[in-house]
Amino acid sequence: MIIEVRKGHEQTVEHIKELAREVGVFVDIIHGRGISDTLHIIGDARPLFARQDYILELPGVVNCWRITCDYKNIARVVEGGNGNVVERERRTVCIPGPDGYVRKVGNAPHLFIVGPCTVQTREQVLSIARAARKIGEEFGIVDRIMLRGGAYKPRTRPTDFRGLGMDGIKLMDEAREETGLPYVSEVMDHNLVEELAQHVDMFQIGTRHAQDFDLLEAVGRSGKPVLLKRGFGNEAAEWFSAAEYVANQGNLNIVLCERGVKTLFAKEGYCRNTPDFNVIRYAREKTILPVIFDPSHAAGSDRIVCDNLLAAMAFQADGSITETIHEEAFRKHQLCDARQALLMDLYREVVEAMLKFEQLITPHLRTIDAYFASRK
């Protein structure tokens, strides 16, 4: 549901927000460049739409219409049955760190998320976190670095190591405390969301849980930023609809993450999944959400991770989430995704390359994008 209100009618806007709250929905205000602002109702807007006649009579209300497009809470362009169309700005998702910097994804330079696949030892986690901080300081990008680390791990085989659980989360807490870098960690069980929300800075929903709708709603209710991986067999529209489950709870702090899809080529062994780089632009055009890329699960081998990262920059991903290892000697002890873990020294190298690449290509990509924007 969209409500257009002429600028300067603050009381009306406040009143509509109150009506929305009463029926359990939220208002996202899109400040227009013209004479009116657009109120986009997030959530199940039907009870509010039932009061359309009343709303239309409020001072300053120009129009009120129902949205007909799919995944309407996160859609970039929303359409009404009457032909009205509004293009929304892309969102910036903010993740504050205890060091006072706010990490921004979307409408901001590439965000670097880095850390182990799975938390195993204190030394492993702290070494990686310290090295990540050091890279941030060396290149003046501390505000663009954050950590990852899985404590609750989805495993294909039930006998494989499934993470340290709460002990792993506590190690991530410690890494954050020492380095000031916020972190993202996976949650698999909707019953754990409230407890984990006390710790993590951002929830990760993994590829296997990308269509666990109770879980998506639970992280939506938490209001925390959510990193939503694409289900490995999901069409783009299914992925966006999964994000819609989070958004429908009033939480638009969602970051989409492409991590490679299953193809028959993976059977040949040269990759674990096939990175669908093309979907990055599509997601950017179809949704208001930031889109990041996972070069590790899209590779399966550390040999391809750097190539993937540079490609992600070329495809204008808003960020990346990379699995790393602190020293080669640990590889034989690593219990999950050891083959694709990139040595931190190499990560430093590729970050430097990415930053140079970013400087070189950004002005040209702007020109190219402006051309296509004008051709619409």
- The contact set with ligand PEP (CB under 6 A) reads 117, 150, 154, 206-208, 229, 259, 294, 297
Among 117, 184, 228, 325, binds Mn ion (CB under 5 A): 117
DSSP 3-state of 77: strand
Nearer to ligand PEP, 12 or 207 (CB): 207
Give the residue from 86, 81, 76 showing the smallest Cα distance to 34. 86
Choose from Mn ion, ligand PEP, none: what does 230 bind? Cβ within 5-8 Å by kind. none
Residue 206 binds: one of ligand PEP, Mn ion, none (C-beta under 5 to 8 A by kind) = ligand PEP
Of residues 12 and 273, the one with the C-beta less far from ligand PEP: 273
Least gap, CB of 178 to ligand PEP (angstroms): 22
Alpha helices in the chain (DSSP H): 10-22, 46-49, 52-56, 122-138, 166-179, 193-197, 213-222, 236-247, 278-286, 302-314, 344-375
From Mn ion, ligand PEP, none, which one binds at residue 229 (CB under 5 to 8 Å depending on kind)?
A: ligand PEP
At residue 239, the 3 state secondary structure works out as helix
Pick out residues in 281-320 that bind Mn ion (CB under 5 A): none
> How many residues touch Mn ion (CB under 5 A)?
2
Whole-Å CA distances, 337 to 208, 258, 261, 262, 301: 16, 18, 17, 17, 9
d(CA 296, CA 358): 20
Partner interacting with residue 32 (select from Mn ion, ligand PEP, none; CB below 5-8 Å by kind): none
Provide, rounded to whole angstroms, the least separation between the CB of residue 154 and ligand PEP.
6
- Of 337, 343, 344, 355, the residue at the interface with Mn ion (CB under 5 A) is 337
**Residue-level length of the chain:** 376
- Residue 157 CB, nearest approach to ligand PEP (Å): 14
Do 226 and 246 contact (CB within 8 A), yes or no? Answer: yes
Strands 111-115, 319-325: pairing is parallel
Report the partner that residue 348 touches, choosing among Mn ion, ligand PEP, none (CB closer than 5 to 8 A by kind).
none
Shortest reach from residue 110's CB to ligand PEP, in Å: 18
Residue 144: name its binding partner from ligand PEP, Mn ion, none (Cβ under 5 to 8 Å by kind): none
Contact 226, 220 (CB under 8 A): yes
If contact means CB under 5 to 8 A according to the sort of partner, which of ligand PEP, Mn ion, none does residue 258 touch? none
Q: Judged by CB, which is closer to Mn ion: 37, or 337?
A: 337
Q: How many CA atoms lie within 13 A of 179 on its CB side?
A: 28
**By CB under 5 A, which span of 72-80, 97-105, 115-123, 173-181 interacts with Mn ion?**
115-123
Least separation in angstroms between residue 257's CB and ligand PEP is 7
Q: Report whether 30 contacts 87 (CB < 8 A).
A: no
Paired tokens of 297: 């699960």
Q: Which residues bind Mn ion (CB under 5 A)?
A: 117, 337
